[in-house]
Structure 1
Amino acid sequence: MGYRVVVAGATGNVGREMLNILAEREFPVDEIAALASSRSQGTEIEFGETGKMIKVQNIENFDFTGWDIALFAIGSTATKVHAPRAAAAGCTVIDNSSLYRMDPDVPLIVPEVNPDAVDGYKAKNIIANPNCSTAQMVVALKPLHDKAKIKRVVVATYQSVSGAGKEGMDELFEQSRAIFVGDPIEPKKFTKQIAFNVIPHIDSFLDDGSTKEEWKMVAETKKILDPKIKLTATCVRVPVFVGHSEAINIEFEEEISAKEAQDILREAPGVMLIDKREDAGYVTPIECVGDFATFVSRVREDPTVDSGLSLWCVSDNLRKGAALNAVQIAELLGRRHLKKG
């Protein structure tokens, strides 16, 4: 016996990936509904590669009563309207927007990191999915934190344009083409040219000079992993279609060698260690696309602090950073609370 599952935002990048991953992981689905705005109502999309076509319904008048789980990928504005409506109807919402992440009554979950926190979902019947850049980072940090206790993290991200949605991907493609044919470049989605460039600016600026994306990494890491960890982030948009990369520097309370860290990461859930000190002995974003893992490479000791490591972390942001993590939360919820049969 399976679940009745809703995917809200099913026509977007993340929503489509949610459908793909539900099918790939053979999530026990008895019935599935695809929701979007009225513009997409009536169109058909495929449920993964199953061959099953689903007709998109209008979220505005959808009745969530009798549905078990809703995966939301519709942005904060629409989520504010529809998530409480779904939750009140008895359908547990797993939300990919930033709306509920810092709500103390809503668990913020990365299943490999803080699975026990999911038990708090009943307060609002809503579970939050973290920011894409946070999700992959804490998967890599958790096993190291368990071993040597992290004091401080300095991270620089190299985030793909798919993190800004289809508009971001289209802009990179269009600008790249324009450069080759000599057409003028006009930034629309991004603040500056993204093709053949990097932009040290994601989301809005805050009073202290950081951006909201950087603040999210700090606040979410504290909520998911440990409130005592000090973290500073610089988030950069790069001309890559899919796959976020991060250069992470970690200071620990206890000693830990690069070799120990490699051994730990090799066995850590959700992590794939690819770390050979030779040409091509590391993973780049183009190689992680379509994969479930968070890849870690270039683990090395930092001689500038008493106990420090640096590493390189890469993951498919549409998967672990969004859709995959949401489906993993649904799996966790099913195992612990919504058991069928």
Structure 2
Amino acid sequence: MGYKVAVIGATGNVGREMLQILAERDFPVDEVAALASERSVGREVSFGEDQVLRVKDLAKFDFTGWDIALSSPGAKVSAQHSPRAAAAGCVVIDNTSHFRMEPDVPLVVPEVNPQAIAGYRKRGIIANPNCSTIQMVVALKPLHELGQITRVVVSTYQSVSGGGKEAMDELFNQTRAIYVNDEVKAEKFPKQIAFNLIPQIDSFMDDGSTKEEWKMVVETRKILDPDIAVLATCVRVPVFVSHSESISVEFARPVSVEEATEALRAAPGVVVLDTREPGGYPTPVETTGEDAVFVSRIRKDPTVKNGLAFWCVADNLRKGAALNAVQIAELLARDYLAK
């Protein structure tokens, strides 16, 4: 006997990826519903290689009798409909930022804190972390177990797909406009993104940080350890898919490069590709479509006591969003909702 699964925001980048990954991983489903706003009703989305689903109206959908909802419609929409689904007995795995920092909602990365899933009983909602946080804590977990991380400094190089389809379209249209000498229009981003970098993701806060940087700080502490100090600088780059991160960590005790490399190689969800030669490291192009978090450039940081630095890349639509949500659903179904 399988599960009845609803995908909320099924026409978006992450929603489509959720449907694809559910099929790829043979999640035990009896029925799948693709839900979106009224304007998308009737559109067709793919589920697996040979199934097509017609999109239904989220606002009118009755969640009674449905087991799991994978939700990625935007924070405001999720704030309204995720509690409604949970009240009907459907456990929601929510990919938006709305519920992440609420104390009675677990924030989960399966390779890092799977035990937190049990907290879903309080609200019927499990939060999926921010994409940039997910890949970082997957890499930090084995290192924290090895030497107790006290401080993290991270600079991100985030692809435009993190901003949705309109952001991807803007990069494409601006690139084309530059080549044909047309006007370059910045609508989704505050500045031109084609052939450029933008050191702002989300809005600015009072201390000068952006909301994206704040998310990485508070989510890392909630998922991994509240005592870790985190400084993040988040940058949008002209890449379509996959986020990259330059990460420096400081430990409570000395940790060698060899120890760290061995721990990372043994960690679930991590692939170490580090040959220390030209091209011997992962980039966004190679990691797009892959499930793992890729780590390379592991080296000593001589500027701090007990410091190491490394390069980290992952597909933000897969491990950074849809795959992480499906992995949570797999553990939820196996350990808590088993039929």
Q: Match of 2:47?
A: 47
The unaligned stretches of length 5 or more in structure 2 are: none
Once residues 203 and 123 of structure 2 are traced to their aligned partners in structure 1, the CA distance between those partners, rounded to angstroms, is: 28
Q: Match of 2:6?
A: 6
Once residues 289 and 72 of structure 1 are traced to their aligned partners in structure 2, the CA distance between those partners, rounded to angstroms, is: 22
- Aligned AA (1:59): L
Once residues 144 and 335 of structure 1 are traced to their aligned partners in structure 2, the CA distance between those partners, rounded to angstroms, is: 28
- Aligned AA (1:251): E
Q: Match of 2:23?
A: 23
Q: Match of 2:284?
A: 285
Once residues 289 and 211 of structure 2 are traced to their aligned partners in structure 1, the CA distance between those partners, rounded to angstroms, is: 27
Identity of aligned residues (%): 68
SS at match of 1:227: coil
The offset of 1:278, in angstroms, is: 0.5
Once residues 48 and 307 of structure 2 are traced to their aligned partners in structure 1, the CA distance between those partners, rounded to angstroms, is: 42
SS at match of 1:103: coil
Once residues 110 and 270 of structure 2 are traced to their aligned partners in structure 1, the CA distance between those partners, rounded to angstroms, is: 13
The CA deviation string for residues 26-52 of structure 1, in whole angstroms up to 9 with x for no partner, is 111111000011111111111032x11
The CA deviation string for residues 130-161 of structure 1, in whole angstroms up to 9 with x for no partner, is 00000000000000000100000000000000
SS at match of 1:197: coil
The CA deviation string for residues 299-330 of structure 1, in whole angstroms up to 9 with x for no partner, is 00111122110000000000011000000000
Pairwise mapping of residues 217-228 of structure 1 onto structure 2 (< 5 A)? 217-228=216-227
The offset of 1:173, in angstroms, is: 0.1
- Aligned AA (1:309): L
Whether 2:62 is the aligned partner of 1:33: answer no
The offset of 1:65, in angstroms, is: 0.3
The offset of 1:115, in angstroms, is: 0.5
Once residues 293 and 148 of structure 1 are traced to their aligned partners in structure 2, the CA distance between those partners, rounded to angstroms, is: 23
Q: Match of 2:206?
A: 207
SS at match of 1:21: helix
Once residues 256 and 334 of structure 2 are traced to their aligned partners in structure 1, the CA distance between those partners, rounded to angstroms, is: 36
Q: Match of 1:299?
A: 298
SS at match of 1:22: helix
Q: Match of 1:139?
A: 138
Once residues 163 and 292 of structure 1 are traced to their aligned partners in structure 2, the CA distance between those partners, rounded to angstroms, is: 16
TM-score, normalised with respect to structure 1: 0.99
- Aligned AA (1:174): N
Q: What is the total number of aligned residue pairs between the two structures? A: 339
The CA deviation string for residues 164-203 of structure 1, in whole angstroms up to 9 with x for no partner, is 0001000000000000000011100000000000000000
- Aligned AA (1:81): Q
The unaligned stretches of length 5 or more in structure 1 are: none
SS at match of 1:207: coil
Q: Match of 2:155?
A: 156
Once residues 127 and 274 of structure 1 are traced to their aligned partners in structure 2, the CA distance between those partners, rounded to angstroms, is: 32
